[in-house]
Amino acid sequence: MAVEVGPRDSGSSPSETPLADGAAGSPVSEGSATGRLSIEHMSAYYGAFCAIRDLNLEIVPQAVTAIIGPSGCGKSTFIRTINRMHELVPNARVEGSVRLDGEDVYGPEVDPVSLRRVIGMVFQRPNPFPTMSIYDNVVAGIRLGARRPRAELDAIVEGSLRRAALWEEVKDKLRQNATALSGGQQQRLCIARALAVEPEVLLMDEPASALDPIATLRIEELLGELRRLYTIVIVTHNMQQAARISDVTAFFTMDEGRAGYLVEVGPTRQMFTSPTEQLTEDYITGRFG
């Protein structure tokens, strides 16, 4: 299901990154914009329970796609299938395909750990590494790879913290423990940590739901800046937030067997003013039973 949004200035798009470690990984290029996700006939299971059935969805690159829908309809499950975190749950499995720039993320040559750098994730509660400094948190993912000169790490830390709109607040205390930061700052630190490894896609699972209104506003402003550079998929239960921050909205609900499915996807303005489906209209106007 393709969705058209207006063209964006793609800015300094992150470079193509192979999904696999070493020579087995094949960078894929399809046009200039990277970070295009194509989900085809995807179903996700926990054991015998089908949490998402037959999902077909194209995620627009370098734009924000909001996933909305009632609790339990599979929103979190869906974004976890994109970077293969779903399979970390015992007995969980996925059918169908998820492609990033044409490459099947479930392909046999794909290394899930490398994939999760290209497709980064930010969780509901900020989860900085509690024993590490601010500096070490930002470069934690990078240190898993080849050793880099100190000056290079310094530049990555500054660049990532600037991009996450946190640099000015922490530049004089980079050696302090990350847990000394406020909740909102910790969440921006987690975003900086995800950005440090140069992802193409950022998955966000209700990233502001544990934050106060001012910290929430900072995160929303930050998304407004990051949307030019990354493909962002955000789960939110807050429809005003979805309307404010996203270019595209996808509405999920669930059937009698509690399997989640996609009802409708479209440009956010249209979804909130003139949705095609009655189910969508009922949900956004609060008439959902």
Applying CB under 6 A, the residues found at the interface with ligand ADP are: 46, 49, 51, 69, 71-77, 89, 258, 260
| Nearest residue (CB) to ligand ADP, 79 versus 223 | 79
- The SS3 assignment for 153 reads helix
Smallest distance from ligand ADP to CB 217, Å: 23
Smallest distance from ligand ADP to CB 221, Å: 25
Long-range pairs of 18-21 with CB within 8 A, sequence gap ≥ 24? 18/114, 19/100, 19/103, 19/105, 19/107, 19/110, 19/111, 19/114, 19/115, 19/118, 20/109, 20/110, 20/111, 20/114, 21/111, 21/113, 21/114
| Nearest residue (CB) to ligand ADP, 106 versus 251 | 251
Smallest distance from ligand ADP to CB 91, Å: 8
Query: Smallest Cα–Cα separation from 98: which of 36, 53, 52?
Result: 36
- Cα distance between residue 68 and residue 144, in whole Å: 34
- The DSSP call for residue 70 is S
| Nearest residue (CB) to ligand ADP, 17 versus 65 | 65
Smallest distance from ligand ADP to CB 249, Å: 15
- Cα distance between residue 101 and residue 19, in whole Å: 11
Query: Smallest Cα–Cα separation from 230: which of 66, 36, 98?
Result: 36
* 234, 120 Cβ separation under 8 angstroms: no
| Nearest residue (CB) to ligand ADP, 225 versus 255 | 255
Q: Where are the beta strands (DSSP E) in 47-166?
A: 49-59, 64-68, 92-100, 103-104, 119-122
Residue 260 phi, psi (nearest 5): -75, 145
| Nearest residue (CB) to ligand ADP, 51 versus 121 | 51
- The SS3 assignment for 203 reads strand
| Nearest residue (CB) to ligand ADP, 91 versus 176 | 91
* 205, 220 Cβ separation under 8 angstroms: no
- Cα distance between residue 246 and residue 219, in whole Å: 13
Smallest distance from ligand ADP to CB 51, Å: 4
Smallest distance from ligand ADP to CB 67, Å: 8
| Nearest residue (CB) to ligand ADP, 152 versus 255 | 255
Smallest distance from ligand ADP to CB 123, Å: 12
